[in-house]
Structure 1
Amino acid sequence: MPKAYWIFNATITDPDTYRKYVERDGEAFAKYGARFLVRGGDAVVVEGSARARHVIIEFENLAVARACYDSPEYQAASVFRRAGAVTDLIIVEGVT
């Protein structure tokens, strides 16, 4: 079964509120075995447009990635993400 990834792009509009998300999201990520591959860092837009912050998180498979997103732990944290940033988040299956 292939790995799955959250691909997350954000423009933070309220750093204090967004920080509350970051303080709370770790519980869900630990519970579902998430592994951060990209977390911020310098980025160069070579085509199109992009938000200011980029995160890629690896999960065991698509079902686990989706379960993490749907979990009560993540949904409770995500309230602060939605209030403190404009975001795009997709969950995608990797190659086999």
Structure 2
Amino acid sequence: MTKTAPLQTAIRAAALAAAITALPALAMAMPKVGDKVGNPTEAKAALEAAGCMTPEFEAEDGKIEAKCHDAAKKLYEVYIDAKTGTVAKVKEND
């Protein structure tokens, strides 16, 4: 890991925070495919900030699966690419 890694992490966190605060509260229902949320440690905060409350993580088919709910208690599964930290799929549970 290089010395720039903490700076890059801080920049990403600041960019995510700016993007989230710029959106109306109701628009923050769930993360979208392509959103970069990072590894499970970083992803917990990023997913909660995007409206995916109390995520629980497990490995599934080479991806990280986050199970969570929105403000209306609707359940979701968010699949994160383990290599890139990018949301690959969002699935609404019945």
TM-score by length of structure 2 reads 0.31
Higher relative contact order (CA 8 A, sep 6+): 1
More helix by share: 1
TM-score by length of structure 1 reads 0.30
